[in-house]
Amino acid sequence: MVPGITNPEPEGGAPDGPVATQLRKGVLEYCVLALLRDGPRYGVELLQELGRHPMLATSQGTIYPLLSRLRRAGLADTFLRDSASGPSRRYYTLTDAGRGALAEFTALWPAFRETVDHVLAPGDHP
C-alpha cells in the first residue's frame, strides 16, 4: 500500500486517493483548455474525453464548477447550440486568454515534469 493512495488499482486502472486527487486538480484545468483548443465542446463531451484517460477521469460535480471558473476568468466562453436529442447544449470554447494560459502551461510543463522526476529519483540531489 502506498501512503496517500487508498486504492492503488481501481477498475479504471488509475490510482485513487488524496495524492491522485491533488495531482488531478493541479492539471485538470489545463487539460480541459487543451481539449477546448481542438474545438467547442459541451460538458458531457469533456467528461467522456477525460474519462478515456483514467488518471484524468472526473465527475460532473468537478467539471461544471471548473468550466464556470474558466469562464469567469476569461479563459473560456460559452454559447448555446440546439441538440437533436433534447434541450439546447451549452458549448465551451477557448478564448485568446485561454490560449495564452495553455501556451504558458505547455511551455512550463516539460521542465516541471523533469524536475519532479529528478527529485523523485533515488540518489543524491545536488
Mean local confidence (pLDDT), 25-39: 96
Alpha-carbon separation of residue 100 from 16, 42, 113 (angstroms): 31, 21, 20
On average, the pLDDT of the chain sits at 88
Q: How many angstroms separate the CA atoms of 83 and 85, rounded? A: 5
Q: 92 burial class (0-12, 13-18, 19+ CB within 10 angstroms)?
A: buried
Instruction: State residue 3's pLDDT score.
Output: 42
Instruction: State residue 9's pLDDT score.
Output: 42
pLDDT of residue 36 exceeding 60, the answer is: yes
- The 10s digit of each residue's pLDDT in 94-114 is 999 999 999 999 999 999 999
- The 10s digit of each residue's pLDDT in 46-94 is 999 999 999 999 999 999 999 999 999 999 999 999 988 889 999 999 9
pTM comes to 0.83
Residues whose CB is less than 8 angstroms from the CB of residue 101 and which lie 6 or more positions away in sequence, other chains included: 30, 33, 75
pLDDT of residue 25 exceeding 60, the answer is: yes
- Give the rounded percent of residues in the chain with a pLDDT score beyond 90: 71
